[in-house]
Structure 1
Amino acid sequence: MERTSPDAPIAPAADGVLERIRHGASELSDAMSKVADQVLADPEAAARATIMDLAELSGTSPGTITRFCRHLGYDGYAALRVAIATETGRASARLETGWDVNIGQEIAPSDPLDRVLKQLITIDAAMLRDTVDTLDLDAVERVAARVCDARRVDVYGVGTSATVARELQMGFYRIGVAAWVWTEVHDALASAALLGEGDIAFAVSISGSTAEVIEMLSEADSRGALTVAMTGRADSALAEIADICLVSATTRTGHRADLLASRHSALLVADLVHIAVAQRRFPAALEALESRARAVVGHRPTRQRNGAS
């Protein structure tokens, strides 16, 4: 039987993700068929496994897992894993937290807070681990090296992503890097227009499709600045225009917990970039931190100045 393109999504002939995998098995490439066979053979194990684990179990690669997820209509492995666990109703996520909890996405109004709390942390932990498994550390190294030599750094973000943008800029600021954060399109475009070679512009958009942020980064790119996209979509419009793309794990179901988890995985990437820069300019970073501490010491409570607990 002739197969369709492996990039074409499986027709949603059934509601359940496992049934969709079975129904569309004939349309998969040989590599993705191995992933499908492994998932169907042990769905609970797939729900617990990291992307690296599943790649090893199926004899494939993380890239194949990612293509398999997108073929099914999911943005990444975190989303697929949650869907599998939700459907089985028996899978438990034994993550580094040590908690066992069904990682279904629905939180009902009557759910007790202990269940809500466990569900939130499970979704967070899944995305953080998937970010760790898939993040391009060589790209982080290249970005950090360029930040150390940059004349100035712009960071752009709006809406939910503005929180991540502010945290990245603040991290740079604390270690003495000349960095500005822009969350309003007019101010951002005006700043981007002043950039040039040797400058860096970061654009944060979890979806990778925020028009304002794309416009900001495009302006910086047109001025010759190095452009860096921090997004949850490697195939997004924002990623396409960036010189370097740093991808964090994300899933989009419209659920508030998933939106928070997506932001947390993006914050993990922001923290890593900031620390990588601090490592490379450690003496200057340490002096900046100490200078800031000395400048505000007079405004700290007496007990804190005296070292009391």
Structure 2
Amino acid sequence: MSIIQKLETIHLSTSQKEVANFMLDKKLEIEKMTINELAHFTYTSPATIIRLAKKLGYDGYESLKKDFLEEQKYILTHFNNIDPNYPFNKKDTIQTISSKMTQLLKETAQDTLSLMKHDDLQKAVAILKKANVIHLSAISYSLLLGQTFQLNMNRLGKLVNICSINGEELFMNHLIHKEDCLLMISYSGQIEQMIQLARLAKRKNVPIIVITSVGNNELKKYGDVVLNISTREKLYSKIGGFVNENSIKLILDILYACYFELDYDDSLNKRITISKESETTRFASLKVMKEGE
């Protein structure tokens, strides 16, 4: 969860709000400010700033400032011409909305790619390859995207099991084995049931891949590898989850594609064979869709 998102969800005192608002207003300008200077400009005290830092999960001002500056630099890249939370206005024409949504999709893809680190992706794919079963945990729209990933992987003969976290996560302790892996998707990274499931898996030495937002959150602590979602949207104040949902889909598509490429010819043969056997009623009327054309 980003610092901005945390500030949306936690209770702050009046003086702490003054510090937070000043930082959000000045952004990169606080880079050379000492804690005493920040306290002076906000008419507060160093103690207030330290309490704010600890409330946000940091041990002090310097560690908070470091992550805040990195987050601000990230926010200032991409999405310069469109608001991820409100990408269109109430008076926009349908053509304008179409154009803006297309631009949002392009920017989301570029932003997601910029967050993708080669070694992390390589490690994640290796974990998927080695696992007997991939157990996927997510909720809401992320779960729907996970089900698409499940279908794709199943068509390669790789079993993906969807983990329920509706009160049944404790039973997963008996179903997940150390030869498997756990793939967890959460934008906030603060869903208690998923954290509880991650703890269970970690105690059994089950490798964990976490797909989550930029910044610190509880779920990240349990990941053997973390892949970051484009983190531009507020938790609640937005038209829809266009950015994070498209970012998650792209990450899952990349994981699938990289897994596919590990044994390209075998994967292609399996995909075609399994699809033919399981989709016998499908037909196409358009020439471009017909097999063998």
TM superposition shift of 1:245: 0.8
Aligned twin of 1:27: 33
Larger CA deviation: 225-234 vs 122-131: 122-131
Q: Flag the 1:146–1:118 CA change in 2: closer, same or farther, 3 A.
A: same
C-alpha contact (below 8 Å) 1:231/1:246 kept by paired residues: yes
- 1:150 aligned to which of 119, 131, 149: 131
The root-mean-square deviation of aligned C-alpha atoms, in Å, is 3.3
Q: How does 1:120-139 map to 2 (within 5 A)?
A: 120-139=101-120
- 2:74 aligned to which of 72, 77, 92: 77
TM superposition shift of 1:293: 2.4
Aligned twin of 1:286: 268
Q: Flag the 1:228–1:104 CA change in 2: closer, same or farther, 3 A.
A: closer
Q: Flag the 1:266–1:302 CA change in 2: closer, same or farther, 3 A.
A: closer
1:256 matched to 2:236? The reply is: no
TM superposition shift of 1:125: 2.4
Aligned twin of 2:186: 205
SS of aligned partner of 1:12? helix
Letter in 1 for 2:273: S
Aligned twin of 1:4: none
Q: Flag the 1:281–1:216 CA change in 2: closer, same or farther, 3 A.
A: farther
C-alpha contact (below 8 Å) 1:79/1:252 kept by paired residues: no
Deviations 1:29-69 (A, max 9, x none): 9xxxxxxxxxxxxxxxxxxxxxxxxxxxxxxxxxx997425
C-alpha contact (below 8 Å) 1:218/1:241 kept by paired residues: yes
SS of aligned partner of 2:245? helix
Q: Flag the 1:103–1:308 CA change in 2: closer, same or farther, 3 A.
A: same
C-alpha contact (below 8 Å) 1:65/1:77 kept by paired residues: no
* Distance across 1 between alignment mates of 2:261 and 2:28: 49
Gaps of 5+ in 1: 1-7, 30-63, 86-91, 93-101
* Distance across 2 between alignment mates of 1:287 and 1:120: 36
* Distance across 1 between alignment mates of 2:265 and 2:179: 22
Aligned twin of 2:177: 196
Aligned twin of 1:88: none
SS of aligned partner of 2:210? strand
Deviations 1:219-277 (A, max 9, x none): 222222101111113411111111111112122232124x2111101111111111111
Q: Flag the 1:274–1:177 CA change in 2: closer, same or farther, 3 A.
A: same
SS of aligned partner of 1:185? coil
TM superposition shift of 1:12: 1.8
Aligned pairs, number: 243
C-alpha contact (below 8 Å) 1:78/1:249 kept by paired residues: no
TM superposition shift of 1:103: 4.5
Deviations 1:3-37 (A, max 9, x none): xxxxx9964249xx6x52476464289xxxxxxxx
C-alpha contact (below 8 Å) 2:136/2:161 kept by paired residues: yes
Gaps of 5+ in 2: 1-15, 36-64
Identity between Structure 1 and Structure 2 (%): 12
Q: How does 1:54-69 map to 2 (within 5 A)?
A: 67-69=68-70
C-alpha contact (below 8 Å) 1:232/1:247 kept by paired residues: yes
Q: How does 1:208-287 map to 2 (within 5 A)?
A: 208-253=189-234, 254-257=237-240, 259-287=241-269
Q: Flag the 1:203–1:66 CA change in 2: closer, same or farther, 3 A.
A: same
SS of aligned partner of 2:21? coil
C-alpha contact (below 8 Å) 1:145/1:280 kept by paired residues: no
Q: How does 1:82-97 map to 2 (within 5 A)?
A: 82=79, 85=80, 92=81
* Distance across 1 between alignment mates of 2:29 and 2:228: 31
Q: Flag the 1:303–1:103 CA change in 2: closer, same or farther, 3 A.
A: closer
* Distance across 2 between alignment mates of 1:169 and 1:297: 17
C-alpha contact (below 8 Å) 1:208/1:233 kept by paired residues: no
Q: Flag the 1:246–1:105 CA change in 2: closer, same or farther, 3 A.
A: closer
Q: Flag the 1:127–1:65 CA change in 2: closer, same or farther, 3 A.
A: farther
Aligned twin of 1:110: 91
C-alpha contact (below 8 Å) 2:189/2:213 kept by paired residues: yes
